Amino acid sequence: MSEHILSTCGLTMRFGGVTAVDNVDFNLRDGELRCLLGPNGAGKSTFFKCLTGQLTPTEGKVTFSGQDITGALTHDIVKKGVGIKTQVPNVFDGITAYENVRLSARRKHLKPMAKELTMKTLERCGITHLAKREVGLLSHGQRQLVELAMVLAGEPKLILLDEPAAGMTGDERDRLAQLVLESARSAAVVVVEHDMAFIRQIAKFVTVFNRGAIFREAMIDDIMQDREVQEIYLGKQANAA
């Protein structure tokens, strides 16, 4: 039990007649890097929202670090050590990238330490040159990096990344892959991504969602070979890649 930093038991989220997350038992070891795949509408983002208190699951239980966090408030869950980059970037548009990241670092740290951590994180994410720019005016890929920096500056024990590579240039994506691998040394990471080139750079163990339920869990190579998985999802990309 305690070796799992995150586990869900029978997690279900229904919207009226739609079951977006269907009886999911998901277990993540401390320090593990997991990729979460699945076709559009498979329920990946909804699953993340249930984990972070943005949605209250209809049924089931979420345990983080041995504590029941089902239905807890978002900020309380985050304070326990969960950081999330959402699919649609949630950043503070009207203020600078620096201030965006600093507000994240400042929650746990005193001013000077927060400043230092902010500079370090901007550097790590390769966006020091964007520090003084208003985030609302940045490109999609740059905003993704700012949001990632905000997540990392919160020093979470569990990092959830929902389609972090979307809108990124090749260089930005390579850096992102490095960052994810690096972060996985000090935290557990779950990455949702459609970009197969990116997935190949980082993936080891993979969970595939389909129609809200876990369809397959296996090593990436096996997943790539899996006929049924290809049918539901990878088909086109696997052939193209």
Ligand X SMILES: Nc1ncnc2c1ncn2[C@@H]1O[C@H](COP(=O)(O)OP(=O)(O)OP(=O)(O)O)[C@@H](O)[C@H]1O
Using CB under 8 A, list all residues that contact another protein.
52, 54, 73-75, 78-79, 83-84, 86, 90-96, 98-99, 103-104, 106-107, 111, 132-134, 137, 150, 154
Tokens of 196: 């197969």
Q: Which is nearer to another protein, 22 or 147 (CB)?
A: 147
Tell which phi-psi region holds residue 66, choosing left (phi > 0), alpha (psi between -120 and 50) or beta.
left
**Which tokens is 26 given?**
């998901």
**Minimum CB separation from ligand X for residue 82, in Å?**
18
Q: How far is the CB of 45 from ligand X (least distance, A)?
A: 3
- Residue 200 Cβ vs another protein, minimum distance, rounded to whole Å: 29
Q: How far is the CB of 46 from Mg ion (least distance, A)?
A: 8
Burial 43-66 (b: 16+ CB within 10 A, else e): bbbbbbbbbbbebebeebebbbee
What are the residues binding Mg ion (CB under 5 A)? 45, 87
C-alpha 113/C-alpha 98 separation (Å) is 14
> Site for ligand X (CB under 6 A): which residue of 8, 45, 70, 142?
45
Stretch touching ligand X by CB under 6 A, among 36-44, 75-83, 123-131, 232-240: 36-44
Residue 192 or residue 223: which is nearer to Mg ion going by CB? 192
User: In angstroms, what is the minimal distance from the CB of 20 to another protein?
Assistant: 18
State in angstroms the smallest separation of the CB of 34 from ligand X.
15
Q: Does 236 bind ligand X (CB under 6 A)?
A: no
Among 42, 50, 145, 160, binds ligand X (CB under 6 A): 42
Q: One-letter amino acid identity for 149?
A: A
Amino acid at 28: L
* Contact (CB, 8 A) for 140 and 166: yes
How big is the site for ligand X, counted in residues (CB under 6 A)?
12
Side-chain half-sphere CA neighbours of 191 within 13 A: 30
Give the closest residue to 94 by CA, choosing from 142, 147, 137, 128: 137
Choice between 51 and 114, CB closer to Mg ion: 51
Nearest Cα neighbor of 65 from 207, 188, 153 is: 188
Q: By the criterion CB under 6 A, which residues form the site for ligand X?
A: 15, 18, 20, 38, 40-46, 87
